[in-house]
A and B are shown apart, each in its own frame.
Chain A
């Protein structure tokens, strides 16, 4: 069962509180901080009185505890079975995952029972040893804050050499690809699979470039709820920051915030909905749609 108190934020907070009381002399303010860190904004109003009033008999009045060991819990069967199921995933090879202790465990599910039916077909080569090595090197470089230099094939299929400081690995579920988010270069990111050679940068050259900071733009759409459009549109754009307002019997105004660098992708996605949505503003975005419509007429 997934919904269980074993995984609850309250159990976790109380475990941390007991640890703190075993190893020191925390006051109420310290305990409140622990609850705020591990549970929710109103949780302290429940957790602390329950402990102080001895409804949960785990702390004495002086905040000492009859518990003698740091609270710990073995993995539940659910957790072990999930780990075993995930080990079937080809992307596991990217990580140095140890599997000891799960030999007797049945996987929670079979990955073959799920089909990602609209995922793009040219995902990254997770079985390729060179790719795996480069992935691990990037992760290590991010952890250590070390710069890298790479040889790669750029979008125009030209070989390029560049150096950069990796800050994050970004995975797209739709593309099934990793991009390295970088700094110290004019570019903000690069595709991991485009890299043909990667090594640590040991030079002392100055870092003159920074990528342009990502700007967040807004587009406002008017939606007519025909053919289940409301449900389709709201789900499709669910991953973006958005605001929706009902403005008529079957009409809605939707405001989406997107990264400017994704504008072309957003134009295409909006086109996909056909006449049930119309870009209201900004005019420049509406013009991008018109441009494609005009080309279609030609």
Chain B
């Protein structure tokens, strides 16, 4: 098939863009799942859409292609571009502009036949080989636009009249859209709205801005819709490690958004196993709505209580699975910002001052492994640790010793004792 810049289906480009943007170390031969031709086409598309951010590197395995973007320096998320590339037919685009020209303001109300007459008489007569739009094509298109909210239909006797929906004023919304198209969930929709405004310079920039979640927007929308409707969903989930796709039916309970790594999760009740399971949104291939779930409110309430003990995504039905975590850090005079850090960054648990120069964090959480990365950020001032799960505590200490070795540091005493 000949190359086209636009695409019909988003899922393949979603995979490639993620590889180019998040990982970016594979050469052409590393994309084992897809054909070389497919790789060439997708690379060419991304290059055309995002050429300014595309980089290349020669390695012994071949040429690596990657997207390198400092998201702090861009006004708007460049990955939104991918959502503006849906293909269409010659008839689609021609009919689109003609229909909205005929129905140019809400007061123009016409029947299908009147619209058809005007298309042929006023719009296509000058073209040598004029496109032909039959009644069913135009009716279908009007129905599609009515479902999208662009067209209104009303009955007048036995006739159906079509008119365009009223305009919503967006003037003066520049700042609002500049901000929320980046900072709100499903911001790509805000970016569609921004496209309607005259070009302008944004007065906002964004730090710690993870832009790749944009590629999962349709997955997120399907999940949020199911949560609102309190219904189950059927997920196709792909394991990154094994590349195997599994299908599961779950009750979606909550979306967890990570602002420290850009990873978004679905928290859900796995129906068959009666487990609280998490799924990474970027690993979900598809989400299909299932049936309304009767006990939704009860389950959601129980989950909310249990989630108070989740450091990130681990959660279980029974509080008996909670593990106690405790560590103390040294805070010298003038270092009060460390105590502030504990308060600010803790996601659950308590912080207390134990003496003039020591502060202790304590919590009961479902998986003490999850808190280790945070505790490591206090390396250099950890004076005491106490985990009910000794295996995890020992793992922390072993890791610390491994770090000493990796950086060539002689250990003269026991760390963290």
Contacts from A to B (Cβ < 8 Å): 1-12, 14-15, 18, 40-43, 45-46, 50, 54-58, 60, 66-69, 71-80, 82-83, 85-86, 89, 91-92, 94-98, 100-102, 108-111, 113-122, 139, 142-143, 168-175, 179, 181, 228, 230-232, 234-236, 238-246, 252, 257, 259, 268-269, 271-275, 278, 286, 289-298
The verdict on B207 contacting chain A, using a C-beta distance below 8 Å, is: yes
Write out the residue numbers on chain A whose beta carbons fall within 8 Å of the beta carbon of B326: none
- A contact face: mostly helix, strand, loop, or mixed: mixed
The answer for the CA separation of A69 and B167 in the assembled complex, in Å, is 15
Write out the residue numbers on chain B whose beta carbons fall within 8 Å of the beta carbon of A171: 179, 182-183, 204-207
Q: B258: which of A12, A41, A67, A118 is its contact (CB, 8 Å)?
A: A118
Known: A109-B228, A121-B346. A296 touches B400 (CB 8 A): yes
Contacts from B to A (Cβ < 8 Å): 4-6, 10, 21-25, 44, 47-49, 51, 55, 57, 59, 61, 64, 66, 68-72, 81, 83-88, 90, 92-94, 96-98, 100-101, 104, 122-124, 126-131, 147-150, 164-170, 172-173, 175-176, 179-180, 182-186, 188-190, 192-193, 195-196, 203-212, 217-218, 221, 224-225, 227-228, 240-241, 254-263, 307, 310, 312, 340, 343-347, 372-374, 376-377, 379-382, 399-400, 402-404, 406-409, 411-413, 415-416
Write out the residue numbers on chain B whose beta carbons fall within 8 Å of the beta carbon of A117: 256-258, 310, 312, 347
* Shortest distance between the CB of B368 and any CB in chain A (Å): 15
Whether the Cβ atoms of A235 and B192 lie closer than 8 Å is: no
Q: A119: which of B84, B87, B259 is its contact (CB, 8 Å)?
A: B259
Whether the Cβ atoms of A238 and B61 lie closer than 8 Å is: no
Known: A2-B221, A78-B148, A238-B21. A113 touches B227 (CB 8 A): yes
* Shortest distance between the CB of B284 and any CB in chain A (Å): 15
Whether the Cβ atoms of A297 and B312 lie closer than 8 Å is: no
**Chain B residue at minimal CB-CB distance from A113:** B227
Write out the residue numbers on chain B whose beta carbons fall within 8 Å of the beta carbon of A294: 409
* Shortest distance between the CB of B403 and any CB in chain A (Å): 5
The answer for the CA separation of A243 and B56 in the assembled complex, in Å, is 9
Q: B168: which of A2, A74, A114 is its contact (CB, 8 Å)?
A: A74
Q: B183: which of A91, A269, A271 is its contact (CB, 8 Å)?
A: A91
Whether the Cβ atoms of A8 and B84 lie closer than 8 Å is: yes
The answer for the CA separation of A189 and B122 in the assembled complex, in Å, is 59
Known: A173-B183, A268-B377. A72 touches B94 (CB 8 A): no
Whether the Cβ atoms of A170 and B168 lie closer than 8 Å is: no
Whether the Cβ atoms of A243 and B203 lie closer than 8 Å is: no
The answer for the CA separation of A280 and B355 in the assembled complex, in Å, is 38
Whether the Cβ atoms of B204 and A168 lie closer than 8 Å is: yes
The answer for the CA separation of A272 and B36 in the assembled complex, in Å, is 38
Write out the residue numbers on chain B whose beta carbons fall within 8 Å of the beta carbon of A240: 70
Write out the residue numbers on chain B whose beta carbons fall within 8 Å of the beta carbon of A79: 189, 192-193
Q: List 15 A-B contacts (CB under 8 A).
A: A40-B48, A58-B94, A76-B150, A77-B148, A97-B173, A110-B227, A114-B255, A168-B205, A174-B260, A238-B262, A246-B25, A272-B376, A273-B373, A274-B400, A293-B403
Whether the Cβ atoms of A297 and B413 lie closer than 8 Å is: yes
The answer for the CA separation of A269 and B71 in the assembled complex, in Å, is 18
Write out the residue numbers on chain B whose beta carbons fall within 8 Å of the beta carbon of A46: 4-6
**Of residues B10, B149, B257, B261, which shows the largest number of chain A Cβ atoms within 10 Å of its Cβ?**
B261
Whether the Cβ atoms of A235 and B262 lie closer than 8 Å is: yes
Whether the Cβ atoms of B149 and A80 lie closer than 8 Å is: yes
Known: A271-B377, A293-B379. A246 touches B72 (CB 8 A): no
* Shortest distance between the CB of A20 and any CB in chain B (Å): 14
* Shortest distance between the CB of A120 and any CB in chain B (Å): 5
Sorted from nearest, which 9 A-B pairs have the closest CB atoms?
A77-B149, A292-B380, A275-B402, A109-B224, A295-B380, A82-B189, A244-B25, A174-B208, A74-B165
Write out the residue numbers on chain B whose beta carbons fall within 8 Å of the beta carbon of A120: 344-345
